[in-house]
Amino acid sequence: MNSYLSTVFSKVGSLLATLLVISLIIFSLVELMPGDVAQMILGQSATEESLRELRQARGLNDPFFTRYGRWITGVLRGDLGDSIYMQGVPISSILWRKVGHSLFLALTAFIIFVPVSIVLGVIAGVKEKKAADSIISFTGLATMALPEFVSGVILISIFAVRLKWLPIVSVIPIGQTLFQNLDILILPALSITFVMFGYVSRMQRSSMIIVMNSDYIKAARLKGLPERYIIFRHALRNALLPTITIIGMNMGWLFGGLIVVETLFGFPGMGSLLMTAIKTRDVPLIEACVLLITVIFALSTMTTDLLYGYLNPRIRFKGGQR
Amino acid sequence: MKKIAVFLVVVLLFSSLLFAGGAAEQESTKKSLRVATQVPGLITMGIWDGQAFALNSSIYEYLIEIDANTGELVPVLATDWETEDGKTWVFNLREGVTFHDGSAFTAEDVKYTIERTQDPEIGHLKKNDFAAVEQVEIIDDYTIALHLEKALPTFIYLFTDYNMGILSSEYDYASKGEMYPMGTGPFILKEIIPKESAYLVKNESYWDPELPKVDELLLYFVGDIDASVSMLESGEVDVVPQISPIIKKRLDQQEGITVVSPYQENRFIALVQDREPFNDNRVRLAFKYAMDPQVIARSVAQMELNEGVFYNESFILNEQAEYLDIPFRGRDIEKAKELLSEAGYPDGLSVDLYYASDHPYGKELSQTIKELSADAGFELNLKGFTRDVYLSQHWLNVPMSITGWGARVDVSMLLSYAYHSEGPWNESHMNNPKVDELIDLIKAEVDYDTRLGYYHELQRIFFEEGTVINVQVPYLVALSDKVVDYRQPLTMLPQYKYTDIK
């Protein structure tokens, strides 16, 4: 059998095993969370009696593994359960809309930061120790050091408060869709770009420097190939590999990191939903959100591994197969 | 190279698409009231804790409501009511009212709503209060009589409670209540996106043709208060409830925005009567002598005393009619130290103070009283927890606590909950036969002046040997200047039907 295919299968297998373990961890961690769901729903004026009744009615008194089993079998069937708060409202009806919004935000950020960081990283690498390199490297370091909630506030005060070009808050007006309000995506996407730009451009720069100093590039130069041809045809292909890993690894982070950005901008995505769920101790909703973030993280890591293998023949053809 | 060029073009196209989007503002002549509010919990009447005020009080309606300006009872679904002995209550109901699904409102619906409080499946928060109803008698479609097991002269006020909105006896609230809430209220829910927004339109067949004043009510559920305030500042919403004093200070300097305080809330500092050290009244008095209401007002809410923040040593708001104005005892550290010495604490003492750190004013108040009482020799160990943890794991079972209490229009309700020795939420473990007796007398007394006399006597007892310090903080709502006539009485329910937009 093709060894690449078997790698794919083993990766998918370990992914599933990881997710199963993770699901158990998520469930236990949420279990450990202080606070009481029944109390949270009933509020201050709840009596012991009504608390007991509510716990009973929601199955909160069942043993741990009974509840875990009920949850995980539901998840496998695609049933994420009902929100604690909205009786009779399945989580899937709340969740997928927000996930869609978040994915779209992540995609927007991706489309902005990937080309920008790679191009600038290449320039910095090629012009090593020149003015362009210093500026790009410094900017990368500065934006990377700024947390999203700081860069977000800076962006808001410039583009929304001073210039009034973009909305301060990324809320979708009632009766409209995200696609009618694409301008609300820009500032959140830029704050994500700020953070990602540093990582990606610096990785691209250093791998570019290594490659540009390697023997085969020297040979190409000696052959008299034009510099541009060398950079894009020979160097970039190899220098992209570590960058792709970094981007892939960070996709998962990006999705989790959206919590801060979405809360700051009031964007109706999965991050702000998770935040609300945590604040209100909506346990099934927390579990669903965290599990989904884990799935996205695991999937993006796996895709990166596979892509890396595909792009790098040394891994693809391991064992001498042709 | 070619590929990169194509890629860049795609990026450019995409970003131009981004900028081209938005600005799709719909021009309309409709009057809309837009509110950025907290994410609601459960919507159906019964067990909601009041987070969803804006939504619920617009969809549902009550037999009676409270006039936000005068505090008097206003007939809504009941046109009038009478009782001879406080034991039998007869209500005449409004005719010609329909639910949003078109069905007629009748006595049957009132009966259903009252009997539903006793349904064990629901865990209704008014179960104990309405347990006193022995029989609900439908006299005709628009007349209903309630027979109580004992005389309760202020029973009528129970119907102003936010969980007592009238439900339709024919509607399936258990399965539809959360996504399709339905009542007789001034607004009809058109669409709700859970945890995001709700769109309500004017109820065209509302029984009062003058109301509601606006055509649509748009509610944005925003978890973060700063994001809500940003929406107000950028003109995307008109109303933001429950802001902090710090935000108020900032907004006060901003043109086009006003901050109002429709009512006060209690913060009860409970000095628990059967736990050390407050089991000795001298220690409670020492603590009271160490307080400085003006300092508390300024550091907790950045306001002057008696202008937004009020202070007393009893169970009642200073603004309520039953309040007895007992002058503040004055801060006297020497006296406090003396009392502590007498009580056997010449070197001061240490006590754990439990509070909800995420509840408005919680952190500020605990910190302030810690510093004030330190002068007299108290060492408060601050034990702050998130509200649900505080309420479920510590409240009612600690030597000292700070708890937020909404005021009750009928003060006797709060008294029997919190200060009767058998009260379910007697957080200060008050156990004083004289207090119990007065509370029982108040609950059964028909004559207003006699009842007032009991209230005053009770407040004098609280001043001498009470277990509570009551710091009253404002509930703050930020409004854009376009909003006309915002009303929210002590029941905490906003009355958006009266609100207009300029």
* Residue found by looking up tokens 């990881």 in the block: A18
Yes or no, beta carbons of A276 and B223 under 8 Å apart:
yes
Q: Give yes or no for residue A173 having a pLDDT over 90.
A: no
* Residue found by looking up tokens 């004289």 in the block: B434
> Which parts of B195-309 are beta strand (E)?
197-202, 216-221, 239-241, 257-271
pLDDT at B210: 92
* Residue found by looking up tokens 């001043």 in the block: B463
At B35, which helix (H) or strand (E)? strand B32-37
Tell whether B234 is within 8 A of chain A (Cβ): yes
Going by CATH, does the domain composed of A91-315 fall within 3.40.50.1970? no
Residues forming beta bridges with residue B32, ordered by sequence position: B216
pLDDT at B354: 96
Q: What is the DSSP letter of A182?
A: G
In whole angstroms, give the CA distance from residue B28 to residue B432.
63
CA distance B49 to chain A (A): 5
- The interaxial angle of helices B433-444 and B448-465, nearest 10 deg, is 160
Cβ proximity of B62 and B166 under 8 Å: yes
Neighboring chain B residues of A45 at a CB cutoff of 8 Å: 49, 125, 417, 425
* Residue found by looking up tokens 């901003």 in the block: B254
Cβ partners under 8 Å of residue B160, min gap 6: B62, B64, B65, B66, B73, B409, B491
Mean pLDDT of chain A: 82
User: Using one digit for the tens of pLDDT, what is the confidence trace for A264-308?
Assistant: 888 888 888 888 888 777 788 888 888 888 888 888 888 888 877
Neighboring chain B residues of A81 at a CB cutoff of 8 Å: none
- Please provide the DSSP assignment of A100-131 as one string: HHHHHHHHHHHHHHHHHHHHHHHHHHHTTTSH
Which of A63-72, B60-69, B251-260, B400-409 has the least mean pLDDT?
A63-72
pLDDT band at A322 (very low <50, low <70, confident <90, very high): very low
Neighboring chain A residues of B162 at a CB cutoff of 8 Å: none
Yes or no, beta carbons of A85 and B123 under 8 Å apart:
no
A42 vs B120, B123, B405: nearest CB:
B123
Number of DSSP helices (H) and strands (E) in chain A, helices first: 14, 0
Maximum CA extent, chain B = 93
Which of A291-305, B284-298, B393-407, B442-456 has the least mean pLDDT?
A291-305
Cβ proximity of B391 and A44 under 8 Å: yes
Q: How many Cα atoms occupy the beta-carbon half-sphere of B253 within 13 Å?
A: 5
B223 vs A46, A53, A279: nearest CB:
A279
Q: Give yes or no for residue B28 having a pLDDT over 50.
A: yes
Question: Which B-chain residues 146-185 have CB contacts (< 8 A) with chain A?
Answer: 174-179
CA distance B102 to chain A (A): 24
Q: Give yes or no for residue B7 having a pLDDT over 60.
A: no
Q: Give yes or no for residue B264 having a pLDDT over 60.
A: yes
Fold of B64-160: Dipeptide-binding Protein; domain 1 (3.90.76)
- Residue A65's identity, in one-letter code, is F
Top CATH class, B263-474: alpha beta
pLDDT at B103: 94
> In this predicted model, which residue has the larger pLDDT, B351 or A146?
B351
pLDDT band at B10 (very low <50, low <70, confident <90, very high): low
In whole angstroms, give the CA distance from residue B81 to residue B464.
39
Cβ proximity of A254 and A196 under 8 Å: yes
Yes or no, beta carbons of A168 and B26 under 8 Å apart:
no
Q: Is residue B330 packed enough to be buried (19+ CB in 10 Å), middle (13-18) or exposed (0-12)?
A: exposed
Domain boundaries, chain B: 2-18+27-59+173-261+476-501, 64-160, 263-474
Tell whether B393 is within 8 A of chain A (Cβ): yes
Domain boundaries, chain A: 2-77, 91-315
> In this predicted model, which residue has the larger pLDDT, B123 or B377?
B377
What average pLDDT does the segment A12-16 reach? 86
B39 vs A183, A264, A276: nearest CB:
A276
User: Using one digit for the tens of pLDDT, what is the confidence trace for B466-489?
Assistant: 999 999 999 999 999 999 999 988
In whole angstroms, give the CA distance from residue A319 to residue B147.
89
User: Using one digit for the tens of pLDDT, what is the confidence trace for A140-156?
Assistant: 888 888 888 888 888 88
pLDDT at A43: 59
Yes or no, beta carbons of B14 and A111 under 8 Å apart:
yes
pLDDT at B98: 94
pLDDT band at A42 (very low <50, low <70, confident <90, very high): low
pLDDT at A129: 83
> In this predicted model, which residue has the larger pLDDT, B332 or B15?
B332
pLDDT at B305: 93
In whole angstroms, give the CA distance from residue B414 to residue B396.
15
pLDDT at B221: 87
pLDDT band at B23 (very low <50, low <70, confident <90, very high): very low
User: Using one digit for the tens of pLDDT, what is the confidence trace for B161-213?
Assistant: 888 999 999 998 888 888 888 999 999 999 888 888 899 999 999 999 998 99
Percent above pLDDT 90 for chain B: 61
> In this predicted model, which residue has the larger pLDDT, B97 or B129?
B97
Question: Which B-chain residues 182-201 have CB contacts (< 8 A) with chain A?
Answer: 191, 193-199
pLDDT at B20: 45
Q: Which long-range contacts (CB under 8 A, 24 or more apart) does B441-449 make?
A: B442/B412, B442/B415, B443/B152, B443/B153, B443/B154, B443/B412, B443/B416, B444/B86, B444/B150, B444/B151, B444/B152, B444/B153, B445/B153, B446/B85, B446/B86, B446/B151, B446/B153
User: Using one digit for the tens of pLDDT, what is the confidence trace for B118-142?
Assistant: 887 777 778 878 988 999 999 999 9
pLDDT band at A321 (very low <50, low <70, confident <90, very high): very low
pLDDT at B111: 95
SS3 B133: strand
Cβ proximity of B264 and B323 under 8 Å: no
Q: Which long-range contacts (CB under 8 A, 24 or more apart) does A67-70 make?
A: A67/A27, A68/A24, A68/A27
Cβ count near B33 (within 10 Å): 26
Q: Give yes or no for residue B9 having a pLDDT over 60.
A: no
By C-alpha distance, the chain B residue nearest A261 is B227
In whole angstroms, give the CA distance from residue A162 to residue A184.
16
Alpha-carbon Rg for chain A, nearest whole angstrom, is: 24
What average pLDDT does the segment A7-23 reach? 85
* Residue found by looking up tokens 């007991």 in the block: A52
Phi, psi of B223 (to 5 degrees): -70, -30
Alpha-carbon Rg for chain B, nearest whole angstrom, is: 26
Neighboring chain B residues of A43 at a CB cutoff of 8 Å: 48-50, 125, 391
Dihedral of alpha carbons A179, A181, A182, A184, sign: negative
Cβ proximity of A150 and A144 under 8 Å: no
Yes or no, beta carbons of A41 and B49 under 8 Å apart:
yes
> In this predicted model, which residue has the larger pLDDT, B223 or A191?
A191
pLDDT at A69: 86
Residues forming beta bridges with residue B133, ordered by sequence position: B148
CA distance A289 to chain B (A): 14
Candidates A84, A102, A161, A182: best to mutate against B (most CBs of B within 10 A) is: A182
Q: Give yes or no for residue B398 having a pLDDT over 80.
A: yes
Cβ proximity of B159 and A89 under 8 Å: no
A179 vs B14, B21, B43: nearest CB:
B21
Mean pLDDT of chain B: 88
User: Using one digit for the tens of pLDDT, what is the confidence trace for A107-133?
Assistant: 898 888 889 998 898 888 888 888 888
Yes or no, beta carbons of A184 and B22 under 8 Å apart:
yes
pLDDT at A291: 87
Tell whether B231 is within 8 A of chain A (Cβ): yes
Yes or no, beta carbons of A45 and B23 under 8 Å apart:
no
- Please provide the DSSP assignment of A149-164 as one string: HHHHHHHIIIIIIIS-
Neighboring chain B residues of A53 at a CB cutoff of 8 Å: 120-121, 123
Name the CATH architecture for the domain at B2-18+27-59+173-261+476-501. 3-Layer(aba) Sandwich (3.40)
pLDDT at B393: 80
pLDDT band at B14 (very low <50, low <70, confident <90, very high): low
Residue B299, token pair as written in the block: 């550091």
User: Using one digit for the tens of pLDDT, what is the confidence trace for A195-241?
Assistant: 888 888 888 888 888 888 888 888 888 888 888 888 887 888 888 88
By C-alpha distance, the chain A residue nearest B423 is A47
Q: What is the DSSP letter of B390?
A: I
